[in-house]
Amino acid sequence: MQRIGFIGLGIMGKPMAQNLLKAGYPLVVYNRSRPAMDELTTEGARLADSPKAIAEQSDVVISCVSDSPDVEAVALGSDGIIEGAKPGLLYIDMSTIAPATARKVYTTLKATGVEALDAPVSGGDIGAQQGTLSIMVGGDEAAFQRSLPILQAMGKNIVYIGEAGAGQVTKACNQIIVALTVQAVAEALTLAKKAGVDVAKVREALMGGFAQSRILDIHGKRILEGDFQPGFKLNLHRKDMNIVLQTGREMGVPLFGSAQVTSMMDALLAQDKGELDNSAIATLYELLSGLT
């Protein structure tokens, strides 16, 4: 089996790494904080002290970190993957970053004989835990075929999109739909609450018609229960929407709905709610509607 290195053991990365261990892959891990690394060692992973050390010990390196600068540092920076990589290494970045950054990493590593894929994911912490993530992949198709058995240990809906950066463009599209659907669910349930009807029954009725969605199911339940423990943190979704708006500007595409929901996220961040789940947008609707 190919030796895998995994960098980034957060809400998403840790369960993804655990699924690779369950699939039998030899795994070495690196994370900026120690507790998650220690937990993985009890399950059979080995530790490394830098992305460079990860690359030196691996055939395939996977990263799942927060933002474009983090990926550049991990892949191309001092003590980064590029310093420990040998020709033939495959690097799979499963973070959500700017398409331009994904293309830069691909081009730079390609010149050293390293293949790179951008393979962002959707499905939240639940999908990461259950190994049912949707994975959208950009890069060379031969590299994708090599990665497929590994990706299948973490996800179910795995689609090769096209050239480098294409996976990140797809993820930007995904984040638009998620953000606007969360907003729609929050708006609808706030209207129902303000009208004095049974919000749980409203959600139940909507789940049986064209309004049905996974977001109405999972996020609607969170809104009903007022439970905003993060499956996907609001501040990370706000970061993704910055990528969306940046990409729209680069492509000359007006993104009116994205701009509006991003402004609402900004209002929540100003209230120090960035660590809550992205469904916490409902709290802003309730505040503005006089319900809190």
Amino acid at 27: L
For the chain, counts of helices (H) and of strands (E): 14, 9
β-strands 90-93, 60-63 pairing? parallel
**How many CB atoms are located within 10 Å of the residue 142 CB?**
9
Any catalytic annotation for residue 171?
yes
Residue whose token pair is 């460079």: 52
What ranges make up the beta strands (E) of the chain? Answer: 4-7, 27-30, 46-47, 60-63, 90-93, 115-118, 121-122, 133-138, 155-162
CA dist 272 and 266 (Å) reads 10
Amino acid at 170: T
- Selecting among 14, 52, 171, 273, the annotated active-site residue is 171
101, 72 in Cβ contact below 8 A? yes
β-strands 27-30, 46-47 pairing? parallel
CA dist 193 and 286 (Å) reads 9
CA dist 79 and 50 (Å) reads 6
Residues taking part in catalysis = 171
